Amino acid sequence: MADKQGSGCGLVLGILALLIGVPLFILVIAISGGEGEEPQASCRPGTTEDASGIPEEYREALESAAAESGLSVDLLAAQIDAESGWNPDATSPVGAEGIAQFMPQTWATYGNGGDPFNAQDAIAAMGRYMASVSDEVADLAGNERELAELSLAAYNAGPGAVQNAGGIPGFPETEEYVDKIMGSAQGNYSADCSPVGGQEIGELGTGEWTSPLPGAAMTSNFGARSCPILNALNCSGGVSDHRGIDFAGPSGSTVVAPMDLEIRATGVIDSWGQLGWVVLAKQPDAPGLHVEFAHCAANSIEVNPGDTVAPGTPLCTQGNTGSSAGEHLHFQIGTPDSDEATPGWENLVDPAPLLGEKGIS
């Protein structure tokens, strides 16, 4: 729904998690009475142009809206799915209407005299509105993926909030909205499970991948993060500008190689002291990504520099070393030109879309 600002519940949970050192997903389950997480999207097998998740009666209108907006069909499809579940008669308690959940005041500007409950009219209006918000935040985007994320944030929280924040504003609802739709666009509506905006590191190869921490939940995304407690974890560097993704499993969970790897370095080797005990590795085959595992439990590393390991090989135990707020794995992926001997910083990319492209949800 356009221009809807999130609540502060996520901030409160984040503060509690930092104070008591419990992974956030465990805290959420405890507070919500045991409800599990909403299942994450995974790549729809066999999705093709003729057999996708987009209802056929809306495909042509959606393709036109995507061309109008400059955004991808899979992104807009995932957005409509999140807004209304493809229900043209949907309404909300705050007055949003139709398949694209327009508020009346926004519809008055972008509806062009149509009916918000007419799906064809609403999808066309969505293309016009997304073109407008995309244009307002385009100066903040460095690539197609960032533009998609910022446009979604502007749709949810308003372009002014995005401009004021210099990026995705730290509203929990907006952050969740962007993550959910980007994941659904890749997992449910992309023909080949490629991430929105693609990725610039080459083909990922045909080898099998697995989760780096089997059975765990992803607890923190890639990119800028708010710091609710000043200086709680030396709120700078990788704490506020998160250069990987975090997973947290039951205490003592085993970190494994997610793909074929050559081990390049192990131990406490980063100059910042934030990452604790680490394993640094590189893909032996193209595209030769650098893959880094941080916060391993002290003295738990099971591999040595020079080892070649297969997917699923134990690397270390999930730990709480370095600058950490509870046992977890911090997982980083760097481009092939990254330094092989030290943890990366400038050349790191978001691992989540790459995992999704290989079917890891």
Quick one: angle between helices 73-84 and 144-157, nearest 10? 30
Quick one: which H or E segment has residue 361?
Answer: none
Nearest to 333 by CA among 320, 319, 345: 345
Among residues 83, 97, 175, 262, which one is catalytic?
83
* Residue 175 φ then ψ, to 5°: -60, -40
* Residue 328 φ then ψ, to 5°: -170, 170
Under DSSP, the state recorded for 39 is: P
Cα dihedral angle (355, 47, 69, 128), rounded to 10 degrees? -120
Task: Respond yes or no: is residue 38 known to be catalytic.
Answer: no
- 41's tokens: 């999207």
User: CA angle at residue 336 from 333 to 341, to 5 degrees?
Assistant: 75
Quick one: angle between helices 119-137 and 56-69, nearest 10? 30
User: CA angle at residue 158 from 154 to 164, to 5 degrees?
Assistant: 90
**Under DSSP, is residue 336 helix (H, G, I), strand (E, B) or coil?**
coil
Q: Is residue 104 reached through a cis peptide bond, with omega within 30 degrees of 0 on the bond before it?
A: no
CB 288 within 8 A of CB 268: no
Q: How far apart are CA 178 and CA 75, in angstroms?
A: 10
Which amino acid is it at 91? Answer: T
Q: How far apart are CA 197 and CA 75, in angstroms?
A: 10
Active-site positions read 83
